Amino acid sequence: MQFCGTMVLFILVLSFGIYFFIKFLRDNKKEEGFASVFIATGVELVVTSFGSNFDKFMQFWVILQNNASVKDYLTMANKSSNVNVPQMIAGILIVGVGIWFIKHVKERMYILNINGYFDKRIEEHYKELGLDKFEFKEREIDLFEYLKADINETRVEEMVKLIKRKVDAFRNESKEVKRGFTGIAPIPFIMLAGTYLKRISFDDYFEFDKVETESYVKLEEGKNYPELKDMTDYSKVNSNVEDVVISVSTTVSIQKEQLKQFKNCEFIMLSVPNPKDLTIRYINQLKEYKNAVIETINRLPEHFPNLKRIHLTCATQSCLVLEIGKNLEHYRNYQVICYHFDAQKEKKYPWGIVMNGSQQGKLVKA
C-alpha cells in the first residue's frame, strides 16, 4: 500500500516537472527544462521520504476490511512514518542541483556577433576574456557570403531579411539572460541591426583588436577618455539646405575631401582629438559618445528647418554604430541614411542603407 501511495505522488509531482520541461523546450530553453525535472524529482523524493497521508488512508482501509485491531494499525502507521533518510538526502541534493542549474542559466550570456569580413568568433578567444566555455552562447549573423560580390538591391534585401530574422530570434532567446555584442561588418548593416534592438540593453561589448593583439577586448567602466566634440561652427552654415552630412570620427579622421560626393549639403563633423583604433574602451564612454551623436541628430531641425535627409558617415567601432541604430527614431520627418566607406572607390561612400521610416532597409547608391 505504501508503494501505491508513493507512486501516485511521484506521478503527480513528476507530471508538473514534465509539463514545465515541455514548455521550456517549446521556448527553446532546454537548460531550464532539465532543471525543472531535477527540482520536481528532488521534491518528490523529499516529500515521500516521510511517507504520505494517502498511504496511511489505504492502510487504515485495509485494516477495516480485515477487522484488524487499532494496535495493528498503529504499529503499521508507525513503521510507515519512519523517515527514509537516504531518500531525503538524495532528494535535497537533486533539488540543489536543479536550483544551481537555474542560477547558472540565469548568469549565462548570449552574444550577438555580426560577421561580414572574416570569421572571428568569441568562442576562439573566451579564455582571454575570462569567460567560461559554458558561460555563454554565441549567436552569429553571417554576412560573409553575401558580401563576396558587389552590392545590389536583391542582395541587400536578402541581408536585411536575414538580419531582422536573426535579431528577432536573439531578442526572444536572450530575454532572461545577460546580453553581449560584437561585430566586424559593414557599418550600415550593424546600425540597421541596432534599429531592430530598440529598448534592448547589452551587458557587455567586445571589440576586436585587429592592430595589436588580434584578439577581443571587453569594454569596462573607466575614465580619462577623450571627448567626442561637435567641431561645427553653426553660425556659418546654410540653414536652408535639405541634406546634412554627419561624420563621426573615433578610429580615423574623416576629411571633408572624402565627402565631396555629397553635393548641396552642410557638414556636421563630430570627432575626438586624435582618432585611433579602439578609442572606445569603456561602457560609460560608449554611452556618452552615443548620447553626443543622438543629441546632435535631434537638434538638427533647429538649425535646418527644411531638413529632409541626414547622411551618416562613421569611422568608429561597431559598438557605437549599434547604439546609434538603437536610438534612431522612426517618427522623425527626416530620413537617416548610413553609408559604407570604400577607400578604393572614387566616391568613398558608394552605397548606404536607409535606417528609418517607410523605406527602412532600402539600398541607396551614391
Residue that wins the pLDDT comparison between 331 and 245: 245
Range of the domain at 131: 109-365
Range 30-36 average pLDDT? 60
Where a domain ends, among 91, 106, 121? 106
Instruction: Give the model's pLDDT for residue 114.
Output: 94
Range 346-361 average pLDDT? 95
Both 236 and 351 in one domain: the answer is: yes
Range 162-175 average pLDDT? 93
Mean pLDDT for the chain overall: 82
Instruction: Give the model's pLDDT for residue 230.
Output: 95
Residue that wins the pLDDT comparison between 11 and 290: 290
Where a domain ends, among 106, 140, 162? 106
Both 196 and 333 in one domain: the answer is: yes
Both 181 and 319 in one domain: the answer is: yes
Instruction: Give the model's pLDDT for residue 121.
Output: 73
**For the chain, how many structural domains are there in total?**
2
Range from 108-112, 116-120, 300-304 carrying the lowest mean pLDDT: 116-120
Both 126 and 230 in one domain: the answer is: yes
Range 284-313 average pLDDT? 96
Instruction: Give the model's pLDDT for residue 2.
Output: 43
Instruction: Give the model's pLDDT for residue 226.
Output: 96
Range 49-69 average pLDDT? 53
> For 8-15, which contacts have Cβ atoms below 8 Å and span 24 or more sequence positions?
8/54, 9/44, 9/47, 9/48, 9/52, 9/54, 10/44, 10/48, 13/40, 13/41, 13/43, 13/44, 13/47, 14/40, 14/41, 14/44
Both 223 and 357 in one domain: the answer is: yes
Range from 52-56, 143-147, 177-181, 234-238 carrying the lowest mean pLDDT: 52-56
- Tell me the percentage of the chain whose pLDDT exceeds 70: 69
> What tens digit of pLDDT does each residue of 69-116 get?
555 555 655 555 566 667 667 767 777 666 666 665 666 789 999 998
